[in-house]
Amino acid sequence: MSQITRRDLLKLGAASAGIAATGLGANMALGGTVRLAESGKDFSAETGKERQAIPSACWQCVTRDGIIGFVEDGRLVKIEGNPELPRTNGKLCARGQAGTNILYNPDRLLHPLKRVGKRGEGRWQQISWDDALGLLVDGGEIAGRKVKGLRALRDEGHPENFMFHYGRMKGSDGKIIKSHFLTAYGTKTIGNHTGICECTKWTAQELTWGSHYDNWDFDNTRFILNFGSNVLECHTNHVPMAQRCIAAMGRGVEMYTFDVRLSNTAAKSTEWVPIKPGTDLAVVLAMCHVLMANDLYDQPFIETYTNVSVEELKSHLATYTPEWAETISGVPAEKIRSIALAYGRAKPSVCISYRGAVMHYNGVQTERAILMLEAIAGNIDCPGGRCRAVGASWKFTFPTPKTKGKKLHILDGHKGAYAYPTHHASHQVFDMIRQGPERPDIYMIYCYNPVYVNGDVQGNIDLMKDEEKMPFIVACDVALSETAELADLVLPDATYLERWTCDDMVCPSQIKEFYIRQPMVKPLGSTRNFCDVVIDIAKRLGFDLGFESAEEFVRNGCENTPGVKEAGGFEYMKKHGAWYDRSAKPAYFSHAKAVDITGATLDEATGVYYNQQPGDTDYSSLDGKHAAKQYVAQKCGDGEAHRGFPPDSHRWKTGMLEIRSKALADKGFDAIPAWMAIPEHEAMGSDDLILTTYKVNVQTHSRSQNCKWLTEIYHENPAWIHPQVAQPLGVEDGDMITVTSSVGQITTKARVTEAITPGVVAISYHCGHWAWGGYASSKSCGENYGHACEPDCHNKWWGKGAHDKGPKVWRDGRGVHVNWIVPNAGDPIGGGQRWMDTVVKVAKA
Amino acid sequence: MNERQTSKEPRSGGDREGLLNRREALKAGAVGAVGAIGVLSGYTAARAAVDDKSAGQVRYAMVIDLRKCIGCHACSVACKSENNVPLGVWRTWVKQVERGGFPSTQRHFLPRLCNHCQEPACVEACPTRSAYQRDDGVVLVREERCIGCKLCMAACPYDARFFHPEKKIVNKCTFCVHRVDKGVVPSCVNTCQGNARIFGDLNDPDSDVAKLVARESVQVLKPELGTEPRVFYIGADTGTMGRVRKEI
């Protein structure tokens, strides 16, 4: 009937058109006179009133864009990008714009909670901050069981038995909590989450060019070669990189993406090149071979700044032909060859990489091979190439405590398991605690959900429930996560929209950008910025941090950081949110900088100029920390002293770009990147598949699913399988399947698609929460200690009435989490969690 | 984008657009080979703009350059936030379509919103004159006059209107006139990461939209219906343009 109605209406056509043209409130401006601003202002759609604009910084992911919050009648209603920042040019992704959802989440934690039932039973008592901090500092009774507090551990001389494990803590938040509070307290049992993030990439870079974090200069590049980065959907510097990447493609720059799955990045690429998981290394080695064989190498760069010669490279790469790589990776040799030639000829070109390529058994060598490729092509630290990161460095005048702390040896995995776990092996912490003998008396998690984000979820839950091995668990977060649900004491944190931070993320324009986070509204309920809470905890323990609030700390940074200070300090930053030196030149070629070596000692064996201290015999005798501190310059291949590629404090290296790594050779690994097969993949049966996990453009890890606007768009994570896999199993699109690994089984929904490499199962890890609020878990909103500040939760439509068979089984509107079936296992060099290596079996459920 | 099969069925549902497309396609001849898509040469589009009844005045329009769209939904969420759009309904969304066999599989995006048609069928359908068009071409709802009869929703060939679950009246994209009238681009344009969404005055030959419409082969949805959309696409995949339901 609706068809007829519309057709008839269309027939009426022009006859009635005139009626419509008499609109009210019409804009009578003449054509050619309208000039619209891109951003900076916002108005109420209802009243037309201008909204108050407050510049600040995002924290929906580690990118931490500059933002402007728009406040209407005391409520934050809108977030946009801050156009004053060159990083983002005023853009903001879906996640950043959904930040208001975190603030006003109906399941937000508003008050401290103390457990009264069994762990995980969900029975809580709302308590005051005074009681909560009393319990943390002086211990007490939790559900009939006595626990020790922070004071007792310190008094006993064992502050290290307080483990602080964080997920997100950057900029001045990290300075306050870690450098000041935890240091003064005396514990160095401080865990992070980089082991499950991208630490293989960082370890590889530290071994090779000394520092970690690579910036891809899309603004100036002529060709993009991509191994496993979903840069258009998610990246640690997402909004700055995505906009530059697509802008480069708009200029005609070609991008070739090697990925096991058609990500949106692959879809927008000139070509998606499907590849067998964990074989990027073979393709990169073959591309290095092609460059050398076709004289497409940058001889001056190789011989001046790297520690290998052209002849050595040719010899090392001789057998890595594209034909060889085809047998390993499944990528046709001709494709490898033609893309390598295009990359080599397009100079400057950039080879980008991320988790798809590196979170494997061979991830460190894969990333090192990519740096070798970039070095061969001469695309290092140059406009249009792969550059070392440039970020802001804030200056604070509060003296950092000099307490010599102690630590439990549970951060880096079992002894000898990993050669260089420079960013720790966070996925092993629970197993270390399980095995003992070293265990923390107090385990505190901050903005971190280890139960959900690590592999072997069941094992994590079982340990958290063990009151002998985990006597006192404290959680500080904005909502009850799967981990906080199992805690004894829960502290409600202020969201990033209610707090102060000096922030510092890398700018793709290779200039330093200083920006701050400031509150847009007062913290809701009795939530408190944990940076302020630690000041109180310190006072209760009898020491003073030297500042009274996070705001004072940020003010100090603004008043003492060169440049920011002269621009107007704290007042300027509160008004603008960000400052950068308008006359700053992008930092390229810092390795080539000539260095004054007056007073420095040359170590003949390594060519390093260093500041010799009494007792030093030569540079090679220094440990990583001292090597970094005493390094001055490198005598490079041209005989001159250059800044080179200095080591960071993690590990010893020379100032050359070390394609040949002594550190790796010392531990029995290939010194120059060579093919490294993945043991489990070598032993696969014919019906085995390789599981890969991934991220999407509207979710951030485990954290953003409590944002209604994001989870409305993405709330289910079916398992992608190719029709070639599905057909023999009798599985059709939408059928239920089981996916089984060595550590467990999930029942999920199949998405049979041509957008994935045969032999692979891809499941995103964003879905399947059983806590974290109603939007995420598909339970009803506001049922846990939440508040009804958001009437829109009644309009939630996904997952309504769906049958819940437990967290390991698919539920409509929620999906199922994949980490139930991923074992915790690190790569042998960096200890990075091998997210993309799990071998599984799929069957029709 | 919610994995294709899981998106919520549109409230106005059914296959009516598909039927309409096929029927209209028979009439429309060559264009009808792809049913719902039309490519306008720069000349045709520019002439259409000059022929507008608002010629000489501002005529707001949007160009969406799909070469630059990364399907990121920044626009979808910006709009929800800017206009306080409830869960379950959208003023703008990004349709996503996958086509082709491995390894040449493709994925295409098509951001959708009200077309602010030059000949808006919704305005004609409205019995209370709640639906109206301003002189600058923006099609709006006078909330106080809307009785929620949904005739406009039935009339809109683009499924751009929805029933607001709280206000109990019809709601839709306004081109963010509350911003535009005060000199700021619509919220979806402000945040578009690829700068794919370009907004401006079609009657101003110096505006980016007018230049793009004149220079590029622009496309509109269902041109055969004579609604004359003022949302133009560049580089849209024909497979995405057939059915314009609220698939995300």
B107 within domain boundaries: yes
CB A648 within 8 A of CB A623: no
Measured in angstroms, the CA of B38 and the nearest CA of chain A are apart by 18
Do A288 and A241 sit in the same domain of this protein? yes
Do A447 and A302 sit in the same domain of this protein? no
Interface contact B124-A17, CB threshold 8 A: yes
Q: List CB contacts (< 8 A) between A13 and chain B.
A: 119, 124, 226
A79 within domain boundaries: no
Express each pLDDT in A96-122 by its tens digit: 999 999 999 999 999 999 999 999 999
Do A826 and A694 sit in the same domain of this protein? yes
**Bond into B103 cis (ω within 30):** yes
pLDDT tops 70 at residue B39: no
- What tokens does A191 get? 């865990």
Residues 6 or more apart whose CB falls under 8 angstroms from that of A551 comprise: A500
Split at pLDDT 50, 70, 90, the class of A640 is very high
Angle CA A776–A780–A783, to nearest 5: 105
**Integer angstrom CA distances of residue A636 from A308, A585, A658, A661, B174:** 12, 25, 12, 16, 63
Count of the separate structural domains present in chain A: 4
Do A223 and A186 sit in the same domain of this protein? no
Do A334 and A463 sit in the same domain of this protein? no
Express each pLDDT in A190-200 by its tens digit: 999 999 999 99
- Under DSSP, the state recorded for A70 is E
Interface contact B131-A20, CB threshold 8 A: yes
Residue count of chain A: 845
A94 within domain boundaries: no
Do A351 and A480 sit in the same domain of this protein? no
pLDDT of amino acid A370? 98
Which of A23, A29, A795 shows the shortest C-beta gap to B88?
Answer: A795
Sheet strands (E) in B45-186:
60-65, 93-99, 106-112, 131-133, 139-141, 162-163, 170-171
Split at pLDDT 50, 70, 90, the class of A14 is very low
A-interface mutation test, from B70, B138, B212, most A Cβ less than 10 A away = B70
Which of B20, B74, B138 shows the shortest C-beta gap to A97?
Answer: B74
Q: Least CA distance to B69: which residue of chain A?
A: A246
> Which residue would you say has higher pLDDT here, A763 or B247?
A763
Beta strands A162-166; A190-191: pairing state? parallel
Do A408 and A548 sit in the same domain of this protein? yes
Express each pLDDT in A138-154 by its tens digit: 999 999 999 999 999 99
pLDDT of amino acid A555? 98
Express each pLDDT in A500-550 by its tens digit: 999 999 999 999 999 999 999 999 999 999 999 999 999 999 999 999 999
Interface contact B8-A13, CB threshold 8 A: no
Q: List CB contacts (< 8 A) between B248 and chain A.
A: 713
- In one-letter notation, the amino acid at residue B143 is E
Express each pLDDT in B202-237 by its tens digit: 999 999 999 999 999 999 999 999 999 999 999 999
How far is Cα B73 from Cα A34, in angstroms, rounded to an integer? 28
DSSP letters spanning A451-519 = HHHSS-HHHHHHHHT-TTTS-EEEEEESB--TTGGG-SEEEEBPPGGG--EEE----TTSS-EEEEE--
Q: What CATH number is given to the structural domain containing B63?
A: 3.30.70.20
Do A659 and A699 sit in the same domain of this protein? no
A63 within domain boundaries: no
pLDDT tops 60 at residue B23: no
- Under DSSP, the state recorded for A762 is E
Do A338 and A428 sit in the same domain of this protein? no
CB A837 within 8 A of CB A361: yes
Angle CA A375–A377–A382, to nearest 5: 70
* Beta pairing partners, A609: A602, A633
Interface contact B119-A17, CB threshold 8 A: yes
Express each pLDDT in A434-484 by its tens digit: 999 999 999 999 999 999 999 999 999 999 999 999 999 999 999 999 999
Interface contact B179-A42, CB threshold 8 A: yes
Interface contact B226-A716, CB threshold 8 A: no
Domain edge (last residue) among A548, A580, A612: A580
How far is Cα A822 from Cα A624, in angstroms, rounded to an integer? 33
pLDDT tops 60 at residue A559: yes
Do A408 and A302 sit in the same domain of this protein? no
- In one-letter notation, the amino acid at residue B94 is V
Which has the minimum average pLDDT: A399-408, A420-429, A444-453, B1-10?
B1-10
pLDDT of amino acid A38? 87
A-interface mutation test, from B1, B19, B52, B72, most A Cβ less than 10 A away = B72
Average pLDDT over residues B133-149: 97
A572 within domain boundaries: yes
pLDDT of amino acid B37? 52
Do A563 and A465 sit in the same domain of this protein? yes
How far is Cα A217 from Cα A224, in angstroms, rounded to an integer? 10
A-interface mutation test, from B5, B75, B80, B240, most A Cβ less than 10 A away = B80
Domain edge (last residue) among A642, A666, A690: A666
A-interface mutation test, from B60, B63, B66, B73, most A Cβ less than 10 A away = B73
pLDDT of amino acid B131? 98
Residue A748 is part of which domain span? 682-844
* Proportion of chain A above pLDDT 70, given as a percent: 96
- What tokens does B196 get? 């794919």
How far is Cα B117 from Cα B120, in angstroms, rounded to an integer? 5
Q: What CATH number is given to the structural domain containing A257?
A: 3.40.228.10
Which of A710, A715, A734 shows the shortest C-beta gap to B5?
Answer: A734
- What tokens does A299 get? 């001889």
pLDDT tops 60 at residue A16: no
DSSP H or E segment with residue A343 = helix A333-345
How far is Cα B92 from Cα B74, in angstroms, rounded to an integer? 10
How far is Cα A616 from Cα A530, in angstroms, rounded to an integer? 43
Residue B52 is part of which domain span? 16-115+174-241
* Beta pairing partners, A642: A594, A634
Interface contact B72-A697, CB threshold 8 A: yes
Which of A6, A734, A795 shows the shortest C-beta gap to B154?
Answer: A6
Express each pLDDT in A301-353 by its tens digit: 999 999 999 999 999 999 999 999 999 999 999 999 999 999 999 999 999 99
This model of the complex carries an ipTM of 0.93
Q: List CB contacts (< 8 A) between B56 and chain A.
A: 30-31
Interface contact B53-A23, CB threshold 8 A: no
A-interface mutation test, from B5, B138, B161, B191, most A Cβ less than 10 A away = B191
pLDDT tops 90 at residue A828: yes
Which of A81, A247, A795 shows the shortest C-beta gap to B86?
Answer: A795
A&B contacts, CB < 8 Å: 282
Residues 6 or more apart whose CB falls under 8 angstroms from that of A63 comprise: A235, A236, A237, A238, A239, A240, A505
Interface contact A94-B72, CB threshold 8 A: yes
Q: What CATH number is given to the structural domain containing A516?
A: 3.40.50.740
Do A611 and A638 sit in the same domain of this protein? yes
pLDDT of amino acid A435? 97
Express each pLDDT in A214-228 by its tens digit: 999 999 999 999 999
Instruction: Count the helices and strands in chain A (H runs, E runs).
Output: 31, 31
How far is Cα A600 from Cα A196, in angstroms, rounded to an integer? 40
pLDDT tops 80 at residue B142: yes
CB A265 within 8 A of CB A229: yes
B167 within domain boundaries: no
Express each pLDDT in A745-764 by its tens digit: 999 999 999 999 999 999 99
Measured in angstroms, the CA of A446 and the nearest CA of chain B are apart by 28
Average pLDDT over residues A664-690: 97
Domain edge (last residue) among A549, A580, A611: A580
Count of the separate structural domains present in chain B: 1
B60 within domain boundaries: yes
* Beta pairing partners, A352: A226
